With several copies, the nearest count.
Chain A
Amino acid sequence: MALSKQQIAQRIAQELQDKWYVNLGIGIPTLVANYIPQGIDVEFQSENGLLGMGPFPVEGTEDADLINAGKQTVTILKGGSLFDSAMSFAMIRGQHVQLTVLGAMEVAANGDIANWKIPGRMVKGMGGAMDLVASAENIIVAMMHTNKKGESKLLKQCSLPLTGVGCVKKVVTNLAVLEIKEGAFHLLERAPGVSVEEIQNATEGNLIVDGEIPEMKL
């Protein structure tokens, strides 16, 4: 069965490594914070100027001066720090943030990503996404495998304006975990009960299926 958004987040959380600083985008990525594996320490960076981001505040303690990049009220953990936007993107551009998790409208087999603009529609802007994808050593895209029309979002080539080129290394969807290398999607894991054929049908870009593909463990 295809994963829920929560389960996508849960699977991505397994990619976290001890001592990593992590930037989580809006949407599914935000949920990753709920599934940090036991025994590892990670710290969340919010690009509006916050390191050591904690959970939402207890009702009544929310502070207008303490928000995340999604403009949600948050808390700061002991050992966290606050800084300006130039310092925040110095961290990102300087590759001090080990992992970026973000959503996408399209991902291509060459690692290109499009997630900020649909021509003809209202464009809200790229926010920090272009800085994040141009800089991070590890980028995981969290998204549905297909769009609302049922069309694949894992493409030969992006059709939408790009956010970044050749930068995505891993994609976790409701159907599969895929690695991008050598211009192709390499199938690593299937969602429980989802067949390779289903994944193949939902993937427009070149899909490499090498040997037996295990089911995800959640």
Chain B
Amino acid sequence: MINKVVKNAKEALEGVENGMTFMLGGFGLCGIPENSISELVSLGITDLTCISNNAGVDDFGLGLLLQKRQIKKMISSYVGENDEFERQMLSGELEVDLIPQGTLAERCRATGAGIPAFFTPAGYGTEVAEGKETREFNGKMYVLEHAFDAQFAFVKAWKGDTAGNLIFKGTARNFNPMMAMAGKTTVVEVEELVEVGELDPNQIHTPGIFIQRIFQGKDYEKRIEQRTVTPKS
């Protein structure tokens, strides 16, 4: 079996450079590649384009890269849970491309699946469709959307084996599987790295073929953005 294991985040991120385009999994702070983000901060590379559904909070997730002004452009569906983001955006330091969430997800999948473009109804008649081809199918209007091009995808999984097969947990799955398919180099960090044969082949969410590097992550904080609970009765 093809072995994808690298020692740590440092080794996993070999080859990242200023000006590259990255995909980063996660929805809010749920399922984000914490170790890879930390390593990107350490490396200090700049002028990055980040494709990620959200942009983290001030002191966590992609907010850490924003603080150090490493990001030139964000491609997201929902941002601005953090003040530094807002400041940079309003001052024009940061470019922001806002995309409907389903279009973002499907464009990631298309990238990995060799589909260069597809039609979606989302955004028709809005500024999202400006300058894009539109077409009617069965009486309904659709917008043509394109695949992305990302040098690296950073993905967080729950369990992964040495061949790169992945299982995600709960809603931490979100964008991770499509981004795993889409990176020219896909780097995965896992909570638990296991030997081949330990995962049921029938229950793998992302087959190892999409993965170039996998490593055992550490020190997961898994911060909760909105802790909503019902009191113990």
Contact = CB atoms under 8 A, between A and B. Distances in A.
Do chains A and B directly touch (beta carbons under 8 Å) in the complex?
yes
Chain A, interface size: which category? 35 or more
A85 B230 contact: no
A79 B197 contact: yes
Interface in B53-84: 53, 76-81
Contact of A63 (B1, B122, B170): B170
B117 interface: no
A130 B226 contact: no
Contacts of B105: 84-86, 88-89
Given A58-B230, A126-B98, A65 B222 contact: yes
A66 B174 CA distance: 11
A147 B159 CA distance: 48
Given A71-B30, A79-B162, A134-B124, A19 B224 contact: no
Contacts of B172: 64-65
Interface string A90-105: 1111111100000000
Contacts, number: 256
A82 B81 CA distance: 25
A64 B123 contact: no
Contacts of A163: 126
Contacts of A97: 209
Contact of A165 (B126, B163, B209, B232): B126
B86 A122 contact: yes
A94 B170 contact: no
A1 interface: no
B1 A96 contact: no
A84 to B, nearest CB: 4
B165 A124 contact: no
B176 A84 contact: yes
B52 to A, nearest CB: 12
Interface string B96-127: 10101111111011011111000011111111
Interface string B35-65: 0000000000000000001000000000000
A43 B209 contact: yes
A21 B1 CA distance: 10
Interface in A13-61: 19, 21, 41-43, 45-52, 55-61
A94 B224 CA distance: 31
Contact of B170 (A41, A66, A126): A66
A164 interface: yes
B135 interface: no
A218 interface: no
Of the candidates B89, B161, B223, B226, the one having the most CB atoms from chain A within 10 angstroms of its own CB is B226
A73 interface: yes
A124 B169 CA distance: 27
24 contacts: A42-B2, A43-B2, A46-B171, A55-B230, A58-B233, A59-B232, A60-B232, A62-B224, A65-B31, A65-B158, A72-B227, A73-B224, A78-B197, A82-B204, A83-B204, A84-B175, A86-B177, A86-B178, A96-B112, A123-B96, A125-B76, A125-B77, A127-B100, A165-B124
Give the 6 A-B residue pairs with the shortest CB-CB distance, closest first: A93-B114, A89-B102, A79-B196, A165-B125, A131-B102, A90-B113
